[in-house]
Chains A and B, each alone.
Chain A
Amino acid sequence: MAEAQATQKPRSPIESGTPDPFRHLHPTLRRNFGLWRSHDRPRPGVLHHTSHTGEEVWTVRVGTQRQMDLATVRSLCDIADEYADGYLRFTIRSNAEITVDDEAKLQPLIDALQRAGFPIGGTGPSVTMISHTQGWLHCDIPATDASGVVKALMDELHEEFIQERMPNRVHITTSCCQINCGGQGDIAINIQHTKPPKIQHDLVAHVCERPSVVARCPVAAIRPAVVNGQPSLEVDESKCVACGACYPPCPPMQINDPEHSKIAIWVGGNHANARGVPTFHKLAVAGLPNNPPRWPEVAEHVKRILYTYRDNARDYERVGEWIERIGWKRFFELTGLPFTKHHIENWKGSRYKLNTSAHLRF
């Protein structure tokens, strides 16, 4: 009896947290932990690291679709076992990296990956994989898709992934709502809502904790109201900035709109401290249609910005550094994008973004 009860008792979790990666490291990486001396890139998509001990490794960077079926993951494992040494890692941008300890293994590994349909690249001054989120595939608040947008764009930018012919690396990100899970990017492709939420008043009282929804609004545009005799919320549409912050805590405040949720492209975000300090991306263009399955207008604008950057920036300049050098006036001229009043920041603390000098470009 006691035994039966014991087996029925739910199992308590083992709170093991983050696993130790050491036993999943390639043995050469293990032996040379903290001892690396330098690296070079013998060809796009390949990193060659040399240790102070004299040992060397070659790492092949492989583009993936991020959302992978088992056969894809197992095929990466099969290749890593057969042509490499049974170890791989993933970058923050969902590229796989397979490391070998012998230069002779490199070409057969690359050949096997290419036969299996994996692009090799994303190193150095290239356009690496787009960091992205869930979108319509899995998210509960998206206005667009993520994997599909990225697939469509990476098809267009494939050559720039497999070659290193940009002035410096280009990090592109996408986000399916204005929370921007994709993060800062040299080029960031984000949903930009253009209309206040549409409220289903009969549901608000049942679904939403009204005070916390009121508190979420960054511009205090939401207030409690009684609509049709029921407690609900109302939005001061003249104040509303259509950010969608109220939608996650209160799904009856529908912000997503097939027509009016547009796409905006932002430029000049950068997380590195190399040369300049990290920077946030800035608005380049908005009002692009959310147009599945291949988002051609977005692709056209991304390529326009990307190739203007490629043709005009100096070596090592990231997109933001290039624009800082030539000035925003020239950026809008070169890209042919319109400059509008919406580019002028009016958020609190934004006055530092205005020009307080006689430094001007013509």
Chain B
Amino acid sequence: MSDKTYDTPNLDELESGPWPSFVTGMKRQAQDKPMLAGVLGQLEQSYTDRKGYWKGGTIGVYGYGGGIIPRFTELKDEQDNPHFPEAQEFHTMRIIPPAGMHYSTALLRDICDIWERHGSGLIALHGQTGDIMLQGITADSVQACFDELNEYGLDLGGAGPAVRTGMSCVGAARCEHSCCNEQKIHRMLVNNFLDDMHRPSLPYKFKFKVSGCANDCMNSIERSDFAVIGTWRDEIQVDQAAVQDFVRRKGRKHTIDNVVTRCPSGSLSLNDDDTLEIDNRSCVRCMHCINVMTEALAPGEDRGVTILVGGKRTLRIGDLFGTVVVPFLPLRSEQDYQRILEIAQEIVEFFAENALEHERVGEMIERIGLAEFLEAIGLEADPNMLKEPRSISYVRTDDWDEEAERWYRRQQMASEQAS
């Protein structure tokens, strides 16, 4: 190790301006941690050449097959000597934060102290999958660092074709829109798939995200394979006096323009006495009116979750949203919460056995069709899973009568359960 610093004229440009500068932070840290001086040197080279210079590899801890992201420098001379010897290795450890990313300062300080002993001191809070990313450690320090973090109560997250670290919103801890115990669902799901997280052997990655309402602050529909979203089945709770107060403060035009006509299902109407009329049977639970009139409106009391499966970004067949596979699962008991886990287990198992290599669950469903997938998982088809029924007649309907009978039986069972 040397205590050399490198000229970084490009990066120095990123030290001015009002936003906190990662360059200033890294330079400060580089005084104690030469690795970061080398990393800054290499980054400056990237800024000059407009090229990246890290390559991957394989590094792990005893007992696990993932969770460390290895990075070795590619900037070497003909004799294989690195240009920036301090930064020959710059590996990342993905650490799972508490659900909802809540920290006591004691926890955060302890993570800092452990990381200071073993690594570069650079921390990203957080990665896009939701990990604490401890950035910059050498291969021979990884095991000792992990052991200390692990004894303390922290665990490695996922990488590669594995169940990944999950995410859940602030939820019931500090949000009035919360329709479920987000962190409980988050931990129940992820912590029951730790074998699939730590020993990557799925066709490809599998992500769980939990949002407590349709605002979907965790981007779960677009960014997770298994999205759990809190919702309700009964009527929006209305405090009509608070509605009248809102109209008095904001004005009738404001209320009509920003609440009533913004309802996507046309379910709202402002009465002559400035109370709100809601057609709850048409309401799609989008959250807009509740967001705007947080004092007056609240989700209903019969709460549960919607599950959507298959969201992902571009690779390989193009972007996919998650699509509804469970319109509503009531959450009244511990058993109801367990039902979410059972569905997840069915889906991960089917995915593991049937997806092609490097195929996400959404792509697999696209390939085999939703109807086939539902049959395999044991979930019943429901109109809420579609925008509209098929328009193309190319389908075999030999078993129409049996399928119709199945629908009527389910309707009858539902009405018996309800009464």
Residues of chain A whose beta carbon lies under 8 Å from any beta carbon of chain B: 10-25, 29-30, 33-34, 36-40, 49, 57, 59, 63-74, 76-77, 80-81, 86-92, 94, 96-97, 99, 117-119, 131, 133-145, 147-148, 151-152, 154-155, 158, 178-184, 212, 215-216, 218, 243, 245, 251, 256, 258-259, 261, 269, 271-276, 278, 280, 290, 292-294, 314-316, 347-349
Closest residue on chain B to residue A82 by CB atoms: B105
A13 x B54 contact (CB < 8 A)? no
Contact A245 B315 (CB under 8 A): yes
The residues of A that contact B374 with a CB separation of less than 8 Å are none
Q: Is the CB of A13 within 8 A of B150?
A: yes
Q: What string of 1s and 0s marks CB contacts (under 8 Å) between B34-70 and chain A?
A: 0000010001001101111111100001111000010
Q: Do residues A148 and B124 form an inter-chain contact, with CB atoms below 8 A? A: no
Bound complex: CA A315 to CA B258 (Å): 7
- Chain A hits for B71, CB < 8 A: 138, 140
Chain B residues positioned under 8 Å from A38 (CB to CB): 176, 294-295
Distance in Å: Cβ of A124 to nearest Cβ of chain B:
11
A15-B155, A316-B258 provided; 15 other pairs, C-beta below 8 A? A67-B26, A67-B124, A68-B25, A77-B108, A87-B104, A139-B54, A144-B50, A183-B219, A273-B285, A274-B214, A274-B287, A278-B216, A290-B50, A293-B14, A294-B14
A109 to chain B, nearest CB (A): 13
What is the CB-to-nearest-CB distance from B237 to chain A, in angstroms, rounded to a whole number?
11
Beta-carbon contacts under 8 Å, B63-122 to A = 63-64, 69, 71, 90, 92, 96-109, 112, 115-116, 121-122
The residue in chain A whose Cβ has the minimal distance to the Cβ of B27 is A69
Query: Which of B176, B257, B291 gathers the greatest number of chain A CB atoms within 10 Å?
Result: B176
- Given known pairs A183-B313, A276-B264, the reply for A68 and B222 (CB within 8 Å) is no
Contact between B122 and A68, CB atoms less than 8 A apart? yes
Binds A, one of B183-191, B339-347, B399-407: B183-191
In the complex, 29 of the A-B residue pairs with CB atoms within 8 angstroms, ordered by the A residue number, are A13-B64, A18-B190, A19-B97, A19-B155, A34-B178, A39-B294, A49-B174, A65-B25, A68-B22, A73-B108, A73-B123, A77-B109, A91-B101, A92-B130, A92-B169, A138-B69, A139-B52, A143-B52, A151-B21, A184-B313, A271-B223, A272-B214, A274-B214, A275-B264, A278-B321, A290-B50, A292-B50, A316-B258, A348-B317
Contact yes or no, A20 B124, CB < 8 A: no
Interface size on B, residues (CB 8 A): 128
| Residues in chain A near residue B125, CB distance under 8 A | 64, 66, 68, 73, 90, 94, 96
Residue pair B174, A71 in contact (C-beta under 8 Å): no
CB nearest to B183 among chain A residues: A21
- Return the chain A residue nearest B91 by Cβ: A138
| B283 contacts partner chain A, Cβ-Cβ < 8 Å | no
Output the nearest chain B residue to A135 by Cβ-Cβ distance.
B52
CB of A275 within 8 A of CB of B288, answer yes
- B99 CB, min distance to chain A CBs, angstroms: 5
Is B105 a contact partner of A141 (Cβ separation < 8 A)? no
B residues sitting closer than 8 Å to A (CB atoms) are 10-11, 13-14, 16-23, 25-26, 28-29, 39, 43, 46-47, 49-56, 61-64, 69, 71, 90, 92, 96-109, 112, 115-116, 121-126, 128, 130, 135, 143, 146-147, 150-151, 153-156, 165-167, 169-170, 172-176, 178, 181, 183, 186-187, 190-191, 194-195, 197-198, 214-223, 229, 257-258, 262-264, 285-288, 291-292, 294-295, 298, 313-319, 321, 356-358
Name which of B47, B107, B174 has the most chain A CB atoms within 10 A of its CB.
B174
Residue from the list A37, A66, A261 in contact with B124, Cβ < 8 A: A66
Chain B residues near A218 (CB-CB < 8 A): 315-318
Asked if A17 and B105 sit within 8 Å, CB to CB, the answer is: no
**B190 → chain A, closest Cβ, in Å?**
5
Cβ-defined contact, B19 with A154, below 8 A:
yes
Q: Judging by beta carbons under 8 Å apart, are A37 and B62 in contact?
A: no
Question: Bound complex: CA of A24 vs CA of B108, how far in Å?
Answer: 10
Whether the pair A18, B222 counts as a contact (CB closer than 8 A) is: no
Name the CB-closest residue of B to A245. Answer: B315
User: Chain B residues near A294 (CB, 8 Å)?
Assistant: 13-14
Indicate if the CB atoms of B170 and A34 lie closer than 8 Å: no
Q: Given A49-B176, A118-B20, A293-B13, are A184 and B294 neighbors across the interface (CB < 8 Å)?
A: no
A275 & B286 in contact (Cβ 8 Å cutoff): yes
Residue of A nearest to B366 (CB): A349
Main secondary structure on chain A at its contact with chain B? loop
Cα–Cα distance between A28 and B100 once the two chains are bound (Å): 16
Contact residues in B for A278 (Cβ distance below 8 Å): 216, 221-222, 321
List residues of chain A with CB within 8 A of the CB of B154: 16, 19
**Closest partner residue, chain B, to A50 (CB atom):** B176
Q: Report how far A273 CA is from B287 CA in the complex, Å.
A: 7
In the complex, what distance in Å separates the CA atom of A44 from the CA atom of B103? 23
| Nearest chain B residue, comparing its CB with the CB of A184 | B222
A29 adjacent to B173 (CB under 8 Å)? yes
A119–B20 Cα distance when bound, in Å, is 8
Contact B105 A77 (CB under 8 A): yes
Partner of B28, one of A69, A89, A158, A276: A69
Cα–Cα distance between A138 and B96 once the two chains are bound (Å)? 19
Q: In the complex the two chains form, is A33's CB within 8 Å of B173's CB?
A: yes
Determine the chain B residues whose CB is within 8 A of the CB of A181 once the complex forms: 128, 313
Tell me how far the C-beta of A189 lies from the nearest C-beta in chain B, rounded to whole angstroms: 15
Q: How far is the CA of A108 from the CA of B26 in the complex (A)?
A: 28
Instruction: Report the 9 A-B pairs with minimum CB-CB distance, sorted nearest first.
Output: A155-B17, A258-B50, A69-B25, A21-B98, A136-B46, A273-B214, A17-B191, A69-B29, A10-B62
Contact A179–B314 (Cβ < 8 Å): yes
B101 touches A89 (CB 8 A): yes
Contact of A274 among B183, B215, B221 (CB under 8 A): B215
CA distance A215 to B169 in the complex (A): 36
Identify which of A40, A74, A139, A147 contacts B22 (C-beta below 8 A). Answer: A147
Beta-carbon contact of B103 and A88 below 8 Å: yes
Residue in B11, B126, B183, B257 whose CB lies within 8 Å of A315: B257
Are B20 and A24 neighbours in the complex by a CB distance under 8 Å? no
- Chain A proximity of B134: nearest CB distance (Å): 11
CB atoms of A274 and B358 under 8 A apart:
no
| Contacting pair A136 B63 (CB below 8 A) | no
CA distance A293 to B22 in the complex (A): 13
Chain A CB count within 10 A is highest, among B39, B102, B191, B198, for B102
Question: Whose C-beta in chain A lies nearest to the C-beta of B306?
Answer: A273
B170 to chain A, nearest CB (A): 7
In the assembled complex, the Cα of A261 lies from the Cα of B141 at a distance in Å of: 36
- CB <8 Å contact, B135 and A65: no
Task: Please give me the residue from chain A that is nearest to B46 by CB atom.
Answer: A136
State whether B287 touches A65 (Cβ < 8 A).
Answer: no
Residues of A with C-beta under 8 A to B109:
74, 77
